Amino acid sequence: MAQLWGGRFTKETDKLVYQFNASITFDKRFYRQDIEGSKAHADMLGKQGIITEEEASELAWALDGILADIESGALAVTEEYEDIHSFVEATLTKRIGDAGKKLHTGRSRNDQVALDMRLYTREQVQETDALLKKLLETILSGMEEHTQTVMPGFTHLQKAQPITLAHHLGAYFEMFKRDRQRLSDIYERMNYCPLGSGALAGTTFPLDRDYTAELLGFYGPTLNSMDGVSDRDYLIEFLSALATVMMHLSRFSEEIIIWNSNEYQFVEIDDAYSTGSSIMPQKKNPDIAELVRGKTGRVYGALLSLLTTMKGIPLAYNKDMQEDKELAFDAMDTARGCIALFEGMLATIKFNKDTMEKSASRGFTNATDAADYLVGRGVPFRDAHGIIGQVVLSCIEKGIAIDDLPLSELKRFSDAFEEDVYEAISMETCVNKRLTTGAPGKEAMERVIAEEKRYLESAGTIGINV
Ligand code: ARG
């Protein structure tokens, strides 16, 4: 057991208490951020004359050495230390003696951990954004390819009106684009540095917080030291954004599972992204989509867990806050993994265009257009709706589509039908006449695709171009 705070204690910590309290098993994950923060702090202590310049450069050199050794595997982060902060400081002191002991001047583990977690989360925001950008590129190339692939659009999972696959994919493009915008908002709000907040009330040492904030790539220091050590809003916002990403991925997964079913056969998932059954030789299961759908619950759980942890904590730091890490890390890993795998599955999926088109033409998806046709010939919409309803009913009895009825039959329902009705209600017309912005018609879709393309080209990933 190695702790930083033995001085005022006369007894050893109980073993189980030590284990219950320790966080190294999970906070060792941000050793790099801990060292980066310590380097900035040491640099600033030297610049301010709080330690000598020699001590500051000795610290920087030793911290670099520790980082290199952890990364090469020469130095193992062992669990006899309470947390990663204690491990780094103890190693430092072992290696350079007294200068190592000076690193923590004007700093508390409270602002240290607040900084480490923020640095770690900031990177995660950037990495998630880059993955989402890749997913958007894959979706966009599907959109470009399928502006003429007609498929049924659904409401209530009942065939409603014909759309195109480009249009369907385009809905998800919008969702993931908003997800990126959310990440960008979060980045803007979170990018302030808590280092220098001390335990809760700052410090009497003349720290230069603007300097450390700048060294670490923050916009500036946080403006209240109590808030600095105990704010986890940025993490809650990020988990909420990840929960929304997962909700979108889960909806998309659900559709792919349905489309991949034996009944639909709209898509075929690539062998590389499918799994088989141990007993049923014919099976090819959409496990990746199912897992993405299933893992959504874990990410929601992390968000709810942290919100609940935070709700009763008085200012400032309390040990409850150590609970911000494990589930958040799990949620970050889960979401990143899901975005990447989903993108791979989508990039390799085969869309069965013929089956989609046939399905659209078999489900009365042109009934609205048939009613609109009558409206164009002077029939009031409500009457037209009723007439087409009767046409549909009789087609259901006969097992045919509206287009299969000869004109003489159609005229029995309304005199307004003429030969041009067939052209007006063809799948092709139904789709391509929908030309309002955001609709599936080819020209409308092409305008949107051009705009989405410009968006992808102009917006870099977070932290690089914002
Ligand atoms: N492991 C702790 C955490 O994650 C570090 C901060 C400890 N601070 C303290 N006052 N005990 O929150």
Query: Which of 345, 365, 368 has its CA nearest to residue 288?
Result: 345
**pLDDT for the residue 459:** 72
Q: What beta strand segments (E) does 110-175 contain?
A: 150-155, 158-164
State in Å: Cα 59 to ligand 1 middle. Answer: 23
Residues 6+ apart with CB under 8 A from 201: 225, 226
Atom of ligand 1 nearest to the CA of 325: 4
State in Å: Cα 22 to ligand 1 middle. Answer: 9
Catalytic residue among 38, 85, 141, 156: 156
85 as an active site residue: the answer is no
Can you give the pLDDT of all 466 residues of the chain as single tens digits?
Answer: 667 777 888 888 889 999 999 999 999 999 999 999 999 999 999 999 999 999 999 999 999 999 999 999 999 999 999 999 999 999 999 999 999 999 999 999 999 999 999 999 999 999 999 999 999 999 999 999 999 999 999 999 999 999 999 999 999 999 999 999 999 999 999 999 999 999 999 999 999 999 999 999 999 999 999 999 999 999 999 999 999 999 999 999 999 999 999 999 999 999 999 888 887 888 789 999 999 999 999 999 999 999 999 999 999 999 999 999 999 999 999 999 999 999 999 999 999 999 999 999 998 999 999 999 999 999 999 999 999 999 999 999 999 999 999 999 999 999 999 999 999 999 999 999 999 999 999 999 999 999 999 999 987 788 754 4
Nearest-CA residue for atom 4 of ligand 1: 322
**pLDDT for the residue 432:** 94
Neighbours of 318 (CB within 10 A): 14
Q: Is the CB of 371 under 6 A from ligand 1?
A: no
**pLDDT for the residue 1:** 66
277 as an active site residue: the answer is yes
**In Å, what is the CA distance from 274 to each residue of 259, 265, 415, 460?**
14, 15, 54, 33
In angstroms, rounded to a whole number, what is the distance separating the alpha carbons of residues 201 and 203? 6
Contact criterion met (CB below 8 Å) for 418 and 370: no
Rounded to the nearest 5°, which phi and psi values hold at 156?
55, 25
Residues 6+ apart with CB under 8 A from 135: 176, 339, 342, 343, 346
Neighbours of 314 (CB within 10 A): 6
In angstroms, rounded to a whole number, what is the distance separating the alpha carbons of residues 133 and 216? 25
Atom of ligand 1 nearest to the CA of 117: 4
Contact criterion met (CB below 8 Å) for 367 and 427: no
Q: Is the CB of 321 under 6 A from ligand 1?
A: yes
Catalytic residue among 38, 168, 230, 277: 277
SS3 assignment, position 317: coil
**pLDDT for the residue 7:** 80
**pLDDT for the residue 464:** 54
Q: End-to-end alpha-carbon separation of the chain, Å? A: 45
DSSP at 314: P
